[in-house]
A and B are shown apart, each in its own frame.
Chain A
Amino acid sequence: MGFYEGLNEEKYDRQYNDRDLAQRILDYFTAQRKRVVVILLLTLLLAVITAAQPVIISKGLDTLKILPSLTASLLIGGIVLFIGIADWGLNWARRRLTVRTVGDVVLNLRLLAFRAAVDHDLSFYDQFSSGRIVSRINADTITLGELVTIITDVSAQILNAILLGIIIVRTEWRLSLVLFAFLPFIFLLALFFRRMARKVTRSGMQAMADVNSAIKETVSGIAIAKNFRQESGIFETFHAANRTSYRVNVWRGFILALVWPALNTLAGIATAALVYAGGLSAAQGAVTIGVWYLFIISLGRFFDPVMNLSAFWSNIQSGLSAAERIFALMDAEPNVVQTERRDVLKLKGGIRFENVSFRYVDQEPVLIDFSLTIHPGENLAIVGHTGAGKSSLAKLIARFYEFQSGRILVDGADIRTFNLQQYRRQLGIVSQIPFLFSGTVAENIRYACPEPECVTNADIMSMARKIGDGEWLETLPNGLATVVGERGTMLSMGQRQLVALLRVLMQKPAIFVLDEATASIDPFTEWQIQQALSMILAESTSILIAHRLSTVKAADRIIVLEKGRILEEGNHDGLLQQGGHYATLYNTYFRHQSLAYVEQARNLVTK
């Protein structure tokens, strides 16, 4: 173990210093103090026992010079057997304890890291992709756990080597110089091979990634190639990629195939040297034949520790980097801070922005001194170009982000004083690409209130039937029990939107926030979405980031937003007549959705 580890490790800039990190890692082990102490004791004992084995054998060999008694023979065999069993047994106990210690530490770190990830507000997720956070929680914790295994294993080997080293130096220092002379060479050779292995592994990985993407492209392109009868062309592309992969990997394979033969040869030469030097000493009577043999069989004992030592430092470094990434995840300061945690009673849904200024971390301001009042039960549509601040308004209402100045009041109370969980339970939010969790359609509909008594299947069914006579249900292969797949990908976009809207309908929120989808949906499903939407609009205060003409028309009030400022407000017909910003926006984004456009479409294309 160890030697081949971390060959493909990326360089990582460190922020914390080694001392603090080590201290902090140790803190996580204090809960495991007893186990750690026992592991250390067992490691020590193991080092002593494994060092004793060659010594016993060499002593035994010396007793052979005069014919040993039966008892003496049995004793030699017995001691060697005992050492073997003890070695195995102690290792067993040590590894059992290690796996438990590491398991508990990793578990604890994982839970804390996940808790921290869940508690972070959305500004954190803007900075770090969720994929990277996932790898900190599941992969970096493993690397950190392995660090412990590596340290204990390597230190056991090194301890063993040191003990044996002391023994052989005290036995015959001149002969031990012959043995030690080879160790630097083994170390350097191992270091060299590790470097080489690292290099070829990386270039191998790179080539492999290129080849895989070429293969991916050619595999995905098969259907299109067949469509145009270009099979031979695409085969050539594939074939070239496949050959490149072969060439790179053969070279990598050659380097890796070289490691052990080279080291074994060096070890063989060292053994030959010891046989020669030791034999001369034995012939001169400077050492016994037992001591001679001790040197020959001890050589191998220095091998593994020296090899692993060559990889030790980089293993430690990658463990510390992993630790740092985990701690950084836990330490990130929250941006959304609640001043109080007041209980939130049933809301009416009045919202007031008072001189609110807002910017995302390290970015241009989105809202400057923004004020807006939304009355309870009002349906407000927000329109504007991309980047006007429409989504930001919605996200501030959901308290996903912290604003820098001003106040947001909900039913007259400062949003910063709420118990957020209670507050959000009264919000219904549907984002542009509705997110579904893997599970069934029914489970997703009751996601906000998973307890069975909260939303029954009958409730869902009767609600589903109210939308277009439940026609959309017949497109789901198993009705409400249909599995939606990871992130809902087994449903069409339209179906996902309907599920998300039903989720909100079951929740009966006081405030409904909709970031309308831009995806194209078949007109029949679209019509059903329209129905679901109007059912929600009738019951709650709604903030609609509108992309559909029908939604804009359904709103009580439209505000036109640009660069965080309200340019115009009013209803559809009034604003259109004004011929101002709204009219321009209408011509840019909504014109093609009108029936008038549909009727003129024929003229458009014949022009």
Chain B
Amino acid sequence: MVAPALITGGFFDSVTTSSQVSEFTLTRHHTTDRRNPVRWILSHTTRYWWLMLIMFIGAIGNAALAAYVPVLTGDAFNAMLNVPPETKVLLPLALIMGGTQILRGILQLGRNFGAELIAQRIERDVRDELYVSLLGKSMTFHNLQPVGDTMARSTNDVREVNYMFSPGINLVVGSLVFLIVPFFFAPIYHWSLLLTPVVFTIAYFIALRWYLRTLNPITEDVRDSFGQMNTHLSEALDGIETMKGAAQEEAEVKRFNLNSRRLRDNNIRQGDVEARFVPLLLYFIALAGGLLHAILLYRSGILNIGNVVAYFGILLMLEFPTWTSIWAYSLISSGLASGQRILDLINRETNLDQNAAGYTQPMRGEIEFHNLTFAYPTGEAVLRDVSFTVKPGQTVAIVGQTGTGKTSLAKLVNRTYDATGGKVLVDGVDVRDWNLASLRSQISIIEQDVFLFSRSVADNIAFGKPRATKEEIETAARSAQADEFINQFEKGYQTVIGERGVTLSGGQRQRLAIARAFLTDPRILILDDSTSAIDSATEDRIQRAIAAAARGRTTLIITHRLSQIRWADLIIVLRKGRIAAIGNHDELLKTSDAYARIFRE
């Protein structure tokens, strides 16, 4: 049932990437057209052309056989109106009718399930394409792209694309066919009977377009006002202690009243438009007009009674498209909008190259910043004119207030970001001249929020070195002062994180990350440390873990800990993106007031 997604290798290091800019690629037999959402979704669809075919055959067959009910009913009427009535044909007619309806059921199932299969496959494929493209994007991209937003696109938006096919396109195709089938069946009785279906179809589309145009902005308003009410509501209740403490209950109630009233008013506006659904009126007019037309033709002797019955039955088929199209079309437009959002993410450029031919020597760990300037792609300057040198094996403390550029400074070393001006040298070589894989594999970053997978503790520690032995893992954990808390878990190293309430404190997560770094043994370690120890014994452990991690490698620590700052070989004090002071502890006590006063009790 599942078409195998062809993964024929070609990960980053392999030869297939030579012409690619991406950091991760899979060789796929199916390529997609990413120029715009319509082309893109279409190019996903073409590989399932046979499912599309099934859907179309199902839709046409379903509608045509549905039209057979009134046609056969008309024949039955004519047979009974003959003098004498031909009762003999009644049973065959009824059996044919029953038989066609069973067949119709099968065809309709084909239409529904065909659309469903396309929808599910496209959901799977689109998500897969998005994910592979995310894996191929640079660290810079992932550092700037909020996870929540990526999540929303890879779940909700992908799902919207699914809904666009089932029920969206399924219903659009199904109802369009129901609109068109009368065009073929009406002329059987008389060519002029085309009049009602044709006029109805034209008027219907005009009315529907107008309806959707009136409704859409109002629906948007409803959604906005609901969102606003909801956000304020949950914020108010989350902050109930602050609200009560500041005696602001009345102000919050007033605000909530205002928000709920606005929502109610928008709901009523929406309800008013929906109540006045003109296509339904058109349908009723079409029924009356078509009936009158048929009766007039009957009067002129062109039709018989059976024909009138059959034609009226065919007109009744128009009820299905009248109703269904209301939301079928909006499903398609929201599916396309979601497609656009996904495509935006896929197409967003990633400007770092692999530099496969670059420098690949073992690293000593010397770092030099030379007149470095860095700004985010948005143009906002983060670091200005930063210069310093770190000798191999030194420990550097980077300190400063929030937003002074500490994290960006550290991330320039492994090319998560690239300098806007000036340069960063590692072992005297510009990081841009390093082979990216070689550079990064010798540098480890431990982020502020340590991310752990819902796997066992051992797997998490061995993440960077999947083939590590049990002994290696445990030694790393011991050096990181993590073995004590790990052993307190019932299943020790096999404890799955996040399972049955196993949660870890920030400090514990950090020590697991340090253990992880021990296994990969990088030459440069970048540690973004923002944990805080509740008690002194834990603080002792953290001190030991960090000291052990820093031993024998160049270490950049972004830290709040006075003890880390005090004993660093070099301290860089950042203020507004510039180096405000630099030196070791004793030097800074003399040169910087701001520094000296944090060491005053």
A583 contacts B by Cβ under 8 Å: no
Across the interface, B234 reaches (CB within 8 A) one of A131, A246, A471, A491, namely A131
**Chain B residues, Cβ within 8 Å of A477:** 403
1/0 per residue, CB under 8 A from B, across A499-539: the answer is: 00001000100000000001111111111000000000000
Q: Judging by beta carbons under 8 Å apart, are B444 and A227 in contact?
A: yes
B8 contacts A by Cβ under 8 Å: no
**Chain B residues, Cβ within 8 Å of A253:** 113, 116-117, 119-120, 166
Using C-beta atoms within 8 Å of the partner chain, give the interface range for chain B: 35 or more
Number of A-B contacts (CB under 8 A): 445
Q: Judging by beta carbons under 8 Å apart, are A243 and B90 in contact?
A: no
Given A81-B284, A220-B147 in contact, is the A96-B271 Cβ separation under 8 Å? yes
Give the CA-CA distance A246 to B112 in the complex, in Å: 17
Across the interface, B260 reaches (CB within 8 A) one of A60, A76, A111, A591, namely A111
B456 contacts A by Cβ under 8 Å: no
Stretch in A160-168, A278-286, A558-566 touching the partner: A278-286
Q: Judging by beta carbons under 8 Å apart, are B288 and A279 in contact?
A: no
**Chain B residues, Cβ within 8 Å of A85:** 281, 284-285
Q: Judging by beta carbons under 8 Å apart, are A134 and B117 in contact?
A: no
Q: How far is the CB of B42 from chain A (nearest CB, A)?
A: 21
Q: Judging by beta carbons under 8 Å apart, are B235 and A77 in contact?
A: no
Give the CA-CA distance A77 to B115 in the complex, in Å: 40
A296 contacts B by Cβ under 8 Å: yes
Instruction: A258-B109, A523-B598, A524-B399 are known; give 6 further A-B pairs, CB within 8 A.
Output: A83-B284, A235-B131, A283-B87, A520-B530, A598-B566, A601-B567
B73 contacts A by Cβ under 8 Å: yes
Q: How far is the CB of B207 from chain A (nearest CB, A)?
A: 12
**Chain B residues, Cβ within 8 Å of A410:** none
Across the interface, A495 reaches (CB within 8 A) one of B244, B402, B466, namely B402
Given A226-B142, A448-B248, A522-B401 in contact, is the A219-B117 Cβ separation under 8 Å? no
Q: How far is the CB of B581 from chain A (nearest CB, A)?
A: 11
Query: Interface majority SS on B: helix, strand, loop or mixed?
Result: helix
A435 contacts B by Cβ under 8 Å: yes
**Chain A residues, Cβ within 8 Å of B139:** 223, 226-227
B188 contacts A by Cβ under 8 Å: no
**Chain B residues, Cβ within 8 Å of A427:** 245
Give the CA-CA distance A162 to B144 in the complex, in Å: 63
B1 contacts A by Cβ under 8 Å: yes
A196 contacts B by Cβ under 8 Å: no
Across the interface, B135 reaches (CB within 8 A) one of A106, A234, A523, namely A234
Q: Judging by beta carbons under 8 Å apart, are B284 and A219 in contact?
A: no
Q: Judging by beta carbons under 8 Å apart, are B116 and A230 in contact?
A: no
Stretch in A19-27, A97-105, A311-319 touching the partner: A97-105
B582 contacts A by Cβ under 8 Å: no
Stretch in A32-40, A64-72, A346-354, A364-372 touching the partner: A64-72
Q: Judging by beta carbons under 8 Å apart, are B440 and A293 in contact?
A: no
**Residues of A429-450 contacting chain B, CB below 8 A:** 429, 431, 435, 437-438, 447-448, 450
**Residues of A225-249 contacting chain B, CB below 8 A:** 225-235, 238-239, 242-243, 245-247, 249
Q: Judging by beta carbons under 8 Å apart, are B565 and A260 in contact?
A: no
Q: Judging by beta carbons under 8 Å apart, are B243 and A223 in contact?
A: no
A421 contacts B by Cβ under 8 Å: yes
Across the interface, B246 reaches (CB within 8 A) one of A57, A138, A424, namely A424
B12 contacts A by Cβ under 8 Å: yes
**Residues of B203-249 contacting chain A, CB below 8 A:** 226, 229-231, 233-249
**Chain A residues, Cβ within 8 Å of B295:** 60, 64, 68, 73, 76-77
**Chain B residues, Cβ within 8 Å of A117:** 237
Q: Judging by beta carbons under 8 Å apart, are A118 and B243 in contact?
A: yes
Q: Judging by beta carbons under 8 Å apart, are B245 and A80 in contact?
A: no
Q: How far is the CB of A588 from chain B (nearest CB, A)?
A: 5
Q: Judging by beta carbons under 8 Å apart, are B242 and A134 in contact?
A: no
A88 contacts B by Cβ under 8 Å: yes
Q: How far is the CB of A546 from chain B (nearest CB, A)?
A: 13
Stretch in B251-259, B417-425, B470-478 touching the partner: B251-259
Q: How far is the CB of B454 from chain A (nearest CB, A)?
A: 6
**Chain A residues, Cβ within 8 Å of B548:** 605
1/0 per residue, CB under 8 A from A, across B59-83: the answer is: 0000000100100110011011100
B334 contacts A by Cβ under 8 Å: no
> What residue of chain A has the Cβ atom nearest to residue B136's Cβ?
A231
**Chain B residues, Cβ within 8 Å of A77:** 288-289, 291-292, 295
Q: Judging by beta carbons under 8 Å apart, are B284 and A99 in contact?
A: no
A202 contacts B by Cβ under 8 Å: no
Q: Judging by beta carbons under 8 Å apart, are A400 and B241 in contact?
A: yes
Stretch in B367-375, B482-490, B535-543 touching the partner: B535-543
- Residue from the set B261, B441, B453 with the largest chain A CB neighbour count within 10 Å: B453
Q: Judging by beta carbons under 8 Å apart, are A280 and B87 in contact?
A: yes
Give the CA-CA distance A249 to B119 in the complex, in Å: 10
**Chain B residues, Cβ within 8 Å of A84:** 281, 283-285, 287-288
Stretch in B96-104, B176-184, B426-434 touching the partner: B96-104
Give the CA-CA distance A230 to B548 in the complex, in Å: 25
Given A435-B238, A595-B599, A605-B547 in contact, is the A99-B247 Cβ separation under 8 Å? no
A404 contacts B by Cβ under 8 Å: no
Q: Judging by beta carbons under 8 Å apart, are A276 and B116 in contact?
A: no
A262 contacts B by Cβ under 8 Å: yes
B38 contacts A by Cβ under 8 Å: no
Q: How far is the CB of B435 from chain A (nearest CB, A)?
A: 13
**Chain A residues, Cβ within 8 Å of B298:** 64
**Chain A residues, Cβ within 8 Å of B76:** 275, 279
